[in-house]
Amino acid sequence: MPLTTTNALKEWAVAVDALEQGKTIMLLRKGGIREENNRFHVTYNPVLLYPTYEHQQPHLLKPDYASQVTPVTSGWHPQTVRIGSWATITDIFQISTQAAVDALLPYHIWNEQFASGRFKWKPRQPLYVLLLRIYKLPSVQRIPYRSEYGGCRSWINIAEPISLEGAVPVVDDTDYSQQTAQIRQILESGCRV
């Protein structure tokens, strides 16, 4: 495993916080507008978690998370970006049934409206489920925002490498194994296509 990286996965700040607090290990993705070939794929692994703010919408989150979001105007970004963790993407599933979307609702931070909306957007493409093993950095890094970090895309390279050394897992091995086993069982029980 590399000791440093510049590879980052962009995600709503509220989701990054939930991942860093061990409240979820799951992300749902279809990809940003500026994805290569307009499709999602995992470009980097491991990745830094890069929080975004512009598209967060409280009404698309479960109540416990909705209150954590303050909507911002289009194009807004912080002067500096907080990087507090990195992740290994341990599992990638493609789901293409509403039953699978519904069965996964307890395992992520989004509400039914968001999950169903993601699933129905670009209906010929599957919804991707990513399971991430999160590691907190020993100290939060603050990096200056750059215009090349903007836009609707999942993957970016930050200007300066960040060390992954000394990071500790957010959830222990047993807990992570149990959560991934539960999710795999749901997806392998007929919901996965």
What is the three-state SS of the chain? Answer: CCCEEEEEEEEEHHHHHHHHCCCCCEEEECCCCCCHHHCCCCCCCCEEEEEECCCCCHHHECHHHHCCCCCCCCCCCCCEEEEEEEEEEEEEEEECCHHHHHHCHHHCCECHHHHHHHHHCCCCCCEEEEEEEEEEEEEEEEEECCHHHCCCCCEEEEEEEEECCCCEECCCHHHHHHHHHHHHHHHHHHHCC
Q: What is the pLDDT of residue 153?
A: 82
Q: Does pLDDT of 88 surpass 80?
A: yes
Residue 152, pLDDT > 50, answer yes
In the chain, what percentage of residues exceed pLDDT 90? 64
Distance CA 173, CA 106 (A): 21
Say whether pLDDT at 37 is over 70.
no
Mean of the per-residue pLDDT values of the chain? 90
pTM of the predicted model, to two decimals? 0.91
pLDDT of residue 192: 41
- Average pLDDT of the segment spanning 179-190: 88
Please compute the mean of the pLDDT values over residues 115-126 and round it to a whole number.
Answer: 81
The reported pLDDT for the residue numbered 119 is 83
Percent of the chain exceeding pLDDT 70 equals 92
pLDDT band at 39 (very low <50, low <70, confident <90, very high): low
Q: What is the pLDDT of residue 75?
A: 83
The average pLDDT across 145-168 equals 93
Which pLDDT belongs to residue 121? 82
On the question of pLDDT at 169 being above 50, the answer is: yes
